[in-house]
Structure formats: C-alpha cells, structure tokens
C-alpha cells in the first residue's frame, strides 16, 4: 500500500486520527503489559484473543477478560496494566506511514486525535514519539460518555473543530474504531493497517 492510499480527498475539512495502532505502534507494548498483568490474575491472554478486542476502551477490554469481577477490582487491574505501560513508553515507535500524513497537513487542515485510550496514556504516547504538537485537539476516554464503537469522540471532535462530518477523514486500525467514525457520519474512513509482509 502506497502513501497515496492515505491521502485525504479534495475538499477535506479536517483529519481525525485514532492513536493506538494508528499513529503509534502501541499495541505490541500493550499486549506484553496486559499479558503479564492478566497472567498474574489467572487469565491467559493469547494473540488471537487480543486481536478480537483491539479497539475497545480499557474498561471494556478488562471486562472481557474478567466479566465476573467487580468494577473496583477491575480498576486495580487497569491501574497495574497502565502503570507498566507508562513505564515503557520510551520503547514506542511512530507508525510513519500515518504520521507522514499528519506532518504533511499540519497547519494546512485542522487535525484531532480521537482515542478510546486513557487521556494521560494517549498524551504520553504522542509525546514519546514527538508528535504531540501536530494536533489541534486530543480527545480521550474521559472526555466522552461512551468509548468506541460509540461515535461520541468523533462527534465531539467534529463539533469542536467546526467542520462537517461528511468532509472529514478518519484514520483507524480496528473495526471498532471504523464503526465509531462511520456512526459519526464520516464517509471517508481509512484503514491504516499495512498488509502482512
């Protein structure tokens, strides 16, 4: 897939980017962290299971692994996993085929990050790879009523940027995220996943 496949069409008013797995290769690190934390609590996180739940917000993600646990107990597990991730953000790498688009349009089009991640982790992730200053707005899980696949984050970004959903482009890497963008009325949703080598 060439870079041109990621170019926004003429007439685009704003670019909206997911963070994890779209702008930054966080998923490998998250998988390692959650596998260790879940393993300590008796859940075997496989690659197949992880692939099925990618894109869910962290509360839904942990709930999938521990459906019978109390909210308070899940919050403890979330804190463990996020602490391990935050200690390791120096290992993160940008996904250059998407970041190149953001760099090319910085200052030319309004741009936002729309993530179902926790705000402190999203901001640290963007900062860790040196791209935090590219975006006019960063929205995370705490900013919305419901995370993806609900359209809340995209609707909020569209309103804040003062643009028309039909003339926005969303960049996503998961079916959950793509469903969220489409539910917000965004007609151009670009799947940023590169084919397996």
Closest CA to 15 of 194, 189, 192, 195: 189
Asked whether the beta carbons of 92 and 25 are under 8 A apart, the reply is yes
Between CA 155 and CA 184 the distance in angstroms is: 6
Give residue 11's region: left, alpha or beta (phi > 0; psi -120 to 50). Answer: left
18 is catalytic: yes
Between CA 147 and CA 117 the distance in angstroms is: 9
Between CA 131 and CA 40 the distance in angstroms is: 34
Phi, psi of 17 (to 5 degrees): -120, 135
Residue from 18, 20, 152, 173 carrying the catalytic annotation: 18
Asked whether the beta carbons of 166 and 187 are under 8 A apart, the reply is yes
Question: Which residues are marked as active site?
Answer: 18
């Amino acid at each position: 897939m060439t870079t041109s496949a990621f170019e926004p069409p003429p007439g685009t008013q704003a670019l909206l980017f997911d963070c994890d797995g779209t702008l930054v290769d966080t998923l490998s690190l998250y998988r390692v962290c959650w596998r260790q934390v879940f393993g300590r609590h008796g859940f075997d996180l496989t690659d197949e299971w992880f692939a099925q739940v990618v894109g869910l917000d962290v509360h839904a993600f942990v709930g999938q692994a521990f459906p019978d646990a109390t909210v308070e107990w899940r919050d403890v597990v979330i804190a463990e996993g996020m602490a391990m991730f935050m200690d390791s953000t120096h290992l993160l790498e940008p996904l250059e085929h998407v970041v190149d688009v953001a760099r090319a349009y910085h200052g030319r089009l309004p741009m936002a990050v729309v993530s179902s991640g926790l705000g402190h982790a999203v901001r640290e992730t963007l900062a860790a790879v040196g791209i935090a200053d590219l975006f006019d707005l960063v929205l995370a899980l705490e900013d919305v009523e419901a995370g993806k696949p609900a359209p809340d984050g995209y609707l909020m970004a569209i309103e804040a940027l003062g643009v028309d959903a039909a003339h926005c482009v969303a960049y996503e890497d998961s079916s959950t995220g793509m469903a969220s963008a489409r539910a917000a009325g965004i007609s151009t949703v670009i799947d940023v996943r590169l084919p397996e080598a």
